[in-house]
């Protein structure tokens, strides 16, 4: 019984130090191309997603690997041996908050702020030496939020916008990615 449990854990536990871009990219691509859950993106935005496939399928075995924890962020970097490419995966965990009104017996209103479940974001920053920087920002459960090629940002349009979500600061994420 214990052996079966160990085999199950080995087979179905994701390796934390692997590039998760392929998993996120495929899931997000299916959602966007299938227009699932009210997700819309223009034709140019859908075509731009192709550039990430090359990096999602890349074999990183020859790359230099580093991992650092900084507050709510786990930063994993892969650098090519020739220093012509750097891929940074940042996993950010933020709490969500629900605010609702509560009335006591006398009818006095009090705003109550409840801490909800943690929300996990993955940001992939791909820095080729001789090409535009690429940023892929996705949220577990909700999917792709936006991606950037050079200075052009492509956003996903959704029917419903989640409330109580604190998104990671992109400037802070870029600073974390720039550290050695």
Per-residue pLDDT of the chain (180 residues; tens, 9 = 90+): 554 444 444 434 344 468 999 999 999 888 877 776 566 677 787 788 889 999 999 999 889 999 999 999 999 999 998 879 999 999 999 887 766 666 666 667 666 666 678 899 999 999 998 999 999 999 998 889 999 999 999 988 877 777 667 889 999 999 999 987
CB count in 10 Å sphere of residue 112: 9
pTM to 2 decimal places: 0.78
- CA dist 88 and 91 (Å) reads 10
Contact (CB, 8 A) for 41 and 59: no
Q: What is the DSSP letter of 50?
A: H
Domain ranges of the chain: 19-178
Contact 162, 142 (CB under 8 A): yes
């Amino acid at each position: 019984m214990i052996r079966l449990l160990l085999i199950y854990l080995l087979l179905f536990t994701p390796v934390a130090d692997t590039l998760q871009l392929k998993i996120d990219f495929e899931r997000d691509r299916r959602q966007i191309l299938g227009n699932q859950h009210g997700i819309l993106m223009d034709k140019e935005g859908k075509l731009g997603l192709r550039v990430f496939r090359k990096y999602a399928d890349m074999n990183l075995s020859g790359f230099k690997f580093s991992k650092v924890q900084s507050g709510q962020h786990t930063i994993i970097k892969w650098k090519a041996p020739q220093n012509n490419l750097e891929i940074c995966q940042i996993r950010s965990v933020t709490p969500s908050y629900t605010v609702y009104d509560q009335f006591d017996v006398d009818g006095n209103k009090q705003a109550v702020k409840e801490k909800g479940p943690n929300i996990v974001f993955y940001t992939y920053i791909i820095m080729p030496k001789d090409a535009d920087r690429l940023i892929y920002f996705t949220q577990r459960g909700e999917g792709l939020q936006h991606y950037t090629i050079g200075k052009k940002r492509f956003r996903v349009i959704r029917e419903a916008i989640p409330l109580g979500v604190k998104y990671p600061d992109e400037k802070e994420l870029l600073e974390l990615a720039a550290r050695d």
